[in-house]
Every structure is written in structure tokens, then in C-alpha cells.
Structure 1
Amino acid sequence: MITGTFVLIALILGYSVVVGLSMLATFSITKAAPAFVAQEHLLNPGYRILQEFMWLVCSLVGGYVSAWVTGPAVHPLLVGAALAGVLVAVLWSNTWEVAQRGLGHQIVMTIVTIIGVAAGFALRLR
């Protein structure tokens, strides 16, 4: 019971950190340089690349936070895979963003999510 609670808290907190940091970075960049982000209602390629790096950092921090919550009590592969799975599922469920970013970018964002979460767990548990 306690282990399940820690897993749930770790997933909720990890997800919240990833999405919160991503939103903060996105809103800050959009406010500072709107022309860099989009032109004629389309995302610029340079911004999409920056977005991939931002997502990598955000997912790394979220993975680290999730690993911090669960600690060695729960197998890290379980929580890490669950967090990455939730993030990827949400990433692909937003059809507007899939259409806006393009298939290639979505695939890269999926890979970046898995790498970031795994790196966050590895940093915390090493």
C-alpha cells in the first residue's frame, strides 16, 4: 500500500514538474521572442529544435524528482517506464500539436522523453 502510494505521488509529481517547467519555458520564450516561435501560425523549425532540448531538460528533472520520491524502495524501471509512458501518451494524444509539429518532431520528442526520464532516474539513483 505504501509503495503504491509512493509510486502514485512520484508519477503525479514527476508529471507536474515536467509539464510545469515546459510551460514556464514555452511562455517565457514566447513572451521574449514571439517571431522566433511562430510565423503565419506555424512553428519555426529553430523553435522546434529548441523545444526538443527544453523537453529533454524538463523530462530529466521530472525523472529525477520521481526517483527522489520513490528512492530505492521501488524498482526504478517501473516508475521510470510509467512516467515516460504517461508523458508520451499525453504528447501523442494532443492531435493539434501532432499536426503542428509534424510526425518527425513527434518521434524525436518521444525519444527525448524516454532519454530524459531515464537520465533523471540515473542521476538520482547512481
Structure 2
Amino acid sequence: MKPLVLIAEDEPAQVEMLRYNLEASELNTIVATDGRSALLLLEEETPDLVVLDWMLPELSGIEVCRQIRQRRESKSLPIIMLTARGEESDRIRGLETGADDYLVKPFSPNELVARIRALLRRTRPALAE
């Protein structure tokens, strides 16, 4: 079974690039284009990992991350923050809010896939085989 990744990103070009690269790497994807939709999707689907943009409409990625960590059913869900906010203080805030990893745009799609696979190996070992 392929791992399912929730992509929470509002820029259409980024969404398409992420979907293409993740699906080419044998990962299934679902997409939310704003923070509220991401949280609603988490009530309907059970992704294995979330790739989360910080600057989302409706509800910021940092608030989505906080709410994911507060929910019993998703508190251990792996989260990679993917954002243009590259200052050290932003990276620290993202990680302290609950992100497991933090990648600054622009980024290498191959590096993102490697980071996803590394997180899945640690958190969902049955999927990484």
C-alpha cells in the first residue's frame, strides 16, 4: 500500500509540482488549498504524513499544525512545514509548534521526497518497506 500524503498548499503551481513529484515517487496525494480545508480533510481521510505550507488562507499553517497536535487522533501525524519563511526564528517556531521537519522554498523535490521517506521510516515503518 502506498503512503498517503496530505499536501496543504495554496499556490496552484506548487501543488502541481508537489503532486507530480510525490506521485512519481510512489506516494499517493490529497490536496487542501487552505487551512480549514486541511483540517476538514483530516476528519475524512487518514494520511500518513502532511506537507504543510505556513502561509495558507483561512487558517495559517502554523495554526493547522497546532490543531493537528491537539487532536488525539492526529497528534502523532508526521508534519513537514514547507514555506518561504526561512528565518531562524520562523524555523524554530514551526518546529516548536509541532512540525517534525521544516523545508524552506525554493527546495529540491528530491530532497523533500527523501525527507518524507525518512519520516515515514521512523513513524510508519510498515509503509517504508
| TM tier relative to shorter chain | under 0.3
Higher helix share: 1
TM-score calculated relative to the size of structure 1 = 0.27
Q: Which has the higher strand share?
A: 2
Between structure 1 and structure 2, the one with the greater Rg is: 1
Q: TM-score, normalised by structure 2?
A: 0.27
Relative contact order (C-alpha < 8 Å, sep 6+): which is higher?
A: 1
